[in-house]
Amino acid sequence: MKRLIPNILTILRLMLIPLVVYFSEYNRVIVAFALFSFAALTDFFDGYLSRLWGVESEFGALWDPVADKVLVMVFFIYFYIKQFLGWYLVFFVCLRDLLLICCIPILKQWFGIEFNTKPIFMTKLSSSVNMVLVSMIFFNNYKEIPNFIIVWVSYLALILCLATFVRFLSFVPMLIRGRNLSE
């Protein structure tokens, strides 16, 4: 059972997305904020527990980053529609995340490349800032946060997004030659 807990947390993260949207739409902002925060925390705990217990799996290696990116993309798009985020941030984050979600399996399937996709610090930092930004926007609907803070975090998210995207592009030639991302 212990070996399934990290994967259950990953699946739970995906399952919480429609609930967060539902509660947000019906002005249950505190519930939406709490559920989103819990979903964001599962991002940390699924990887931490799988490494701690030595139960890393192929499922987790594939679906954990997908769940992280889907969680962020859904709420960036949602907050763009609600006019809380600018198009440029949503566009670049979604473009980067869709390319990352698609490129790794394509390179693996089409080119037969076996590689290690351990996340780098900048990628984890970018994901964390994105989740903090979404949490801040949820919380801002309950108790106002000074606008300059949200703008500053938005720009930080954009800078990290562009930096991680450029970093990913620098790995593509290595991937095509069949080397590990972590090298």
> For the ranges 29-38, 121-130, 145-154, 174-183, which has the lowest average pLDDT?
174-183
With contact defined as beta carbons under 8 Å apart, do 115 and 179 qualify? yes
| CATH number of the domain encompassing residue 157 | 1.20.120
> For the ranges 77-86, 88-97, 98-107, 144-153, which has the lowest average pLDDT?
98-107
Query: In the prediction, which pLDDT does 3 show?
Result: 85
Give the residue-averaged pLDDT of 4-32. Answer: 93
Residue 183 falls inside a structural domain: no
Residue 38 falls inside a structural domain: yes
Residue 68 falls inside a structural domain: yes
Residue 131 falls inside a structural domain: yes
How large a percentage of the chain has pLDDT more than 70? Answer: 85
Residue 182 falls inside a structural domain: no
Mean pLDDT of the chain: 86
Residue 39 falls inside a structural domain: yes
Task: Domain of residue 152: give its range.
Answer: 2-177
Long-range CB pairs of 75-84 (<8 Å, 24+ gap) are: 75/20, 75/36, 75/134, 76/130, 76/134, 78/21, 78/24, 79/134, 79/137, 84/137, 84/140
Per-residue pLDDT tens over the stretch 31-87: 999 999 999 999 889 888 888 898 888 888 788 888 999 999 999 999 999 999 999
Residue 139 has pLDDT above 50, yes or no: yes
Residue 95 falls inside a structural domain: yes
Residue 84 falls inside a structural domain: yes
How large a percentage of the chain has pLDDT more than 90? Answer: 49
Q: What's the pTM?
A: 0.85
When divided into structural domains, the chain yields a total of 1
